């Protein structure tokens, strides 16, 4: 992987991390298109540049994150399911990183979004602030987030759907998803770097820096785009997008007999 490819993946990571379309899935598919092998070092790169996107959340929500202790209690409780399962099933999760699984999960997630939006009624979703989320609700949103360990599911997509099903309105579900990414992705990123730090050479660190910076810039852009979008529209467009992209890639993957 060269620095241009690292920048492209960084841009893609920043744009897709907070949209419910699976950033990890898009990185895997983009790497496949560019002919980049899914080595352990590259998988670590894909996780590590997510830190740039997460810093975008810290930057935009710094006042809330640095002053609201109650919010951090909810975030920690919501992180527990993912943190526990991620630690116990680390090797299994890594083995699931493949184009076929990504394509299938994009399609499945898209269908679920369409079903959820079909029955969504704004007046029935009265939790309109992250401060109104109970500890119990936060924990169950965390359970939904743990489903995103399957590549292509989308961490933001799983938490947003979970939030909506648990009574959050669209904006609150999206914002809690952004905020929950902070502890989740910080810990996942540093754990992955720790596990694979010996595999990074000088060029890898340069590429990581380029991907990190671009992921941060485009992460800020992505958050603002999504919040503006859902203030007027539903998540139906994202559901349709997931299904179309998933079907296209599933066709090309199967056509080229890339079943791994």
Counting every residue written for the chain, the total comes to 260
Which pLDDT belongs to residue 199?
A: 63
pLDDT at 203: 59
Of the pLDDT bands very low, low, confident and very high (cuts 50, 70, 90), residue 260 is very low
Quick one: pLDDT at residue 49? 86
Q: How far is CA 10 from the centre of its chain?
A: 14
Measured CA to CA, the distance from residue 140 to residue 89 in angstroms comes to 19
Query: Tell me: the pLDDT tens digits for 226-251?
Result: 999 998 889 999 999 999 999 988 88
Q: What is the mean pLDDT of the chain?
A: 87
Tell me the pLDDT band of 108, cut-offs 50, 70 and 90: very high
Q: Are the C-beta atoms of residues 130 and 179 closer than 8 Å to each other?
A: yes
d(CA 46, CA 42): 6
> Model's pTM, two decimal places?
0.87
Mean pLDDT throughout 75-86? 93
pLDDT tens digits for 88-100? 887 777 777 778 8
DSSP reduced 3-state for 127: strand
Report which DSSP code applies to 233: S
Provide the residue ranges of all domains of the chain, joining segments of one domain with +: 3-255
């Amino acid at each position: 992987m060269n620095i241009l490819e690292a920048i492209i993946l960084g841009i893609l990571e920043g744009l897709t991390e907070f949209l419910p379309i699976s950033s990890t899935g898009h990185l895997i598919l983009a790497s496949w298109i560019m002919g980049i092998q899914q080595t352990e070092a590259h998988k670590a790169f894909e996780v590590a540049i997510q830190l740039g996107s997460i810093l975008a959340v810290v930057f935009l929500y710094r006042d809330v994150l640095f002053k609201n202790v109650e919010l951090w209690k909810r975030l920690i409780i919501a992180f527990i399911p993912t943190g526990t399962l991620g630690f116990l099933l680390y090797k299994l999760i890594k083995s699931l990183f493949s184009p076929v699984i990504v394509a299938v999960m994009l399609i499945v997630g898209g269908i679920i979004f369409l079903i959820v939006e079909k029955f969504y009624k704004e007046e029935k979703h009265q939790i309109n602030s992250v401060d109104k989320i109970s500890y119990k609700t936060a924990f169950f949103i965390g359970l939904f987030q743990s489903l995103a360990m399957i590549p292509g599911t989308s961490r933001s997509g799983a938490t947003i759907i979970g939030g909506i099903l648990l009574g959050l309105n669209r904006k609150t579900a999206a914002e809690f998803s952004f905020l929950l990414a902070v502890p989740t992705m910080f810990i996942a990123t540093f754990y992955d770097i720790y596990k694979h730090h010996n595999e990074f050479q000088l060029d890898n660190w340069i590429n990581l820096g380029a991907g990190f910076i671009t992921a941060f810039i485009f992460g800020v852009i992505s958050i603002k785009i999504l919040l503006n979008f859902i203030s007027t529209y539903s998540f139906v467009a994202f559901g349709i997008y997931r299904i179309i992209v998933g079907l296209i890639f599933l066709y090309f993957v199967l056509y080229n007999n890339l079943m791994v």
